[in-house]
Structure 1
Amino acid sequence: MVPKVVFGKGAFNQICDIISPERNGVAPFIFLVDDVFKNNTSFIEDRIPLSYTDEIIYVSTVEEPKTSQVDEIVAKIRNDYQYVPSGIIGIGGGSILDLSKAVAIMLTNPGSAADYQGWDLVKNKAVFHVGVPTISGTGAEVSRTTVLTGPERKLGINSDFTPFDQVILDPELIKDVPKDQWFYTGMDCYIHCIESLDGTYLNAFSQSYGEKALDLCKEIFLENNLSKEEVDAKLMMASWHGGMSIAYSQVGVAHAMSYGLAYVLGTKHGIGNCIVFDKLEKYYPEGVAVFKKMKEYHNINLPTGVCANVTEEQLDIMTKVALSLEPLWENALGCDWKSKINEDILKELYRSL
């Protein structure tokens, strides 16, 4: 679990007080920041307390985070500095938070990030790392996973060394997120809840967090009596609780299929989940029905024909990637999941997108 968190309007202004005690001599803090803020320096950059050789690295999130991208950032840091950094501070959405967790791990572990895709493969403690979400819904700020697309698959680095040492939750930082992106990322949280609460891995711990996050999602996306400030604060809490729920259980069919879409077509995680979940009435009938109401309420039109032109070879890869995520399928369908889903069924689902 994340050991320290601060929440509240203006909490980002505490960042200097939070990171200063962790400074190791002249070893720098490296700030990985979503490059969407590059032309709006007053929003983020001007508020970052740079000292000594601290550095801001702006990172593109046009594509899903890749193991190669992690390796490039780690190589740059090692080349530029003779010291291991005092810490990594990630400021952005789920992609930046995942990259930051992975970079913090790889600065103290040998090899490539691709070597650690899986469960509990990391041997050495990561450097101090802080997460500052500027979009809410993914739960990346609280999870023990950093989801990366590697040379062979899309799979997380899942370890006890992955979670942030500190998270700063400031609702002011998400107030200007574009509506479609706000919806897609918020639905990632909603889908986390449905897949966790309907899963075979469910336990009292994950259920308590999942139910609270689900209630918040329904309040946020189906009611109009909240101010924008209230919506942002509640979505930040929904994301946190949803992330905690899946940390102690698992996700399911939508996430497994979304990983396949992302690996082959580069579909971004939030919208990919929505495109898939919209077609999963067979597996999550009540959850999908509410999702469609939310979609209609906010006048969201999902892309159609996403897989209309994919080749058989691409379909084979999609299904292989999706079916390789065995814990997700076991959570969704039970221990005998292999008797309930196969390549042919999965290909038909992909063709329907």
Structure 2
Amino acid sequence: MISRVVFGRGSFSQLHDVLQPKRLNVRAPFIYIVDDVFKGNAWVTSRIPLSYDDEILYISADEEPKTSQVDALVEQIILKYKEKPSGIIGIGGGTILDLAKAVAIMLTNPGSAKDYQGWDLVKNPAVYHVGVPTISGTGAEVSRTTVLTGPDKKLGINSDYTPFDQVLLDPELTKDVPKQQWFYTGMDCYIHCIESLTGTYLNAFSQSYGEKAFELCKEIFLDNKLSEKESQDKLMMASWHGGMSIAYSQVGVAHAMSYGLGYLLGTKHGVGNCIVFDHLEEFYPEGVTMFKDMKKAHNIELPQGLCKNLSDKEFNTMIDVSLGMAPLWENAIGKNWEKTITREKLRALYEKM
């Protein structure tokens, strides 16, 4: 679990006070990995507390994070600084937060990031790392994984060393998120809840968090009675609770299949989950019905025809990636999931997208 959390509107201004006691020495910088959408945005960047050799690395979040990108950032930091950084601070959405977690891990572990895609492969604790989400829904701020696309698969670095040491939750930072992105990342949280609460891995701990996140999502996306500020606050907490729920259980069919879309087509995680979930009535009938109501309430049209012109080889690549997510399928279907989740079944589902 995350050991330290700050929550509150305007709390981003406390970042200096949070970081100051963690500085190792004047030659050990804090490296800020920041979504490049904030480049030139003084309201955000002027409050990043730079001292000594601290540095901001602006990173585009237009594409899903890659293992090669992590390796390049780690090499850049190692070559530039003689001492290990005092900390890595991620400021952005799920892509940026996952990059920050992965970079923090790879600064203390040998090899390439692709070597650690899987469960509990990390041997050495990461450097101190802090997460500051600027969009709500992915749960990346609380999860024990980093979703990375590697040369062979799309799979996270899942370990006890992955979670942030400190998270700063300031709902004000989400005020300028475009509506479609707000919806897609919010639905990532909603889908976390559905997959956790209906899965075979469900337990009392994950259920308590999942149920709270589910109720918040219904309030935010269906009731339409909240002010903008209330919606921002509640969605940030829904994201946190949804992430906690899957940290103690697992996700399911939508995530397993969206990894295939993301690996082959580069489809962003949130919209990929939505595209897949829209066709999963067989697995989550009530959840999909409510999802369609949420789409209608917010006038969201999902992208169509992503798989229309794919070759057999490309379909097989997506299917291979999806079938590689065994814990997700076991949570969704049970230990004998391979008897019902066939290549033909996945091909038929992908063809609908």
Between the aligned partners of 1:85 and 1:67, the Cα distance in structure 2 is: 20
Between the aligned partners of 2:174 and 2:232, the Cα distance in structure 1 is: 7
Query: Deviations along 1:296-348, whole A, 9 cap, x unmatched?
Result: 00000001111001111100000000000000000000011001111110001
Question: Which residue is equivalent to 2:34?
Answer: 33
1:117-266, aligned counterparts within 5 Å? 117-266=117-266
1:337-352, aligned counterparts within 5 Å? 337-352=337-352
Question: Which residue is equivalent to 1:113?
Answer: 113
Query: Deviations along 1:70-89, whole A, 9 cap, x unmatched?
Result: 00000000011000000000
SS in 1 for 2:33: strand
Query: Deviations along 1:172-215, whole A, 9 cap, x unmatched?
Result: 00011000000000000000000000000000000000000000
SS in 2 for 1:88: strand
Between the aligned partners of 1:280 and 1:28, the Cα distance in structure 2 is: 47
Between the aligned partners of 1:225 and 1:239, the Cα distance in structure 2 is: 19
SS in 1 for 2:152: coil
Between the aligned partners of 1:111 and 1:309, the Cα distance in structure 2 is: 37
- Structure 1 residue identity aligned to 2:162: T
- Structure 2 residue identity aligned to 1:119: W
Deviation at 1:249, TM superposition (A): 0.3
SS in 2 for 1:208: helix
SS in 1 for 2:46: helix
2:8 pairs with 1:8: yes
SS in 2 for 1:47: coil
**Number of residue equivalences:** 352
Question: Which residue is equivalent to 1:275?
Answer: 275
SS in 2 for 1:57: strand
Between the aligned partners of 1:220 and 1:333, the Cα distance in structure 2 is: 29
Unaligned runs of 5+ in 2: none
Query: Deviations along 1:156-180, whole A, 9 cap, x unmatched?
Result: 0000000000000000000110000
Between the aligned partners of 1:155 and 1:111, the Cα distance in structure 2 is: 17
Between the aligned partners of 1:116 and 1:224, the Cα distance in structure 2 is: 43
Query: Deviations along 1:223-266, whole A, 9 cap, x unmatched?
Result: 12110000000000000000000000000000000000000000
Deviation at 1:39, TM superposition (A): 2.8
Between the aligned partners of 1:25 and 1:343, the Cα distance in structure 2 is: 55
Between the aligned partners of 1:61 and 1:224, the Cα distance in structure 2 is: 29
Between the aligned partners of 1:39 and 1:319, the Cα distance in structure 2 is: 42
Between the aligned partners of 1:97 and 1:66, the Cα distance in structure 2 is: 13
Deviation at 1:43, TM superposition (A): 2.3
Identical-residue share of aligned pairs (%) = 71
Question: Runs of 4 or more off by more than 2 Å in structure 1?
Answer: none
TM-score by length of 1: 0.99
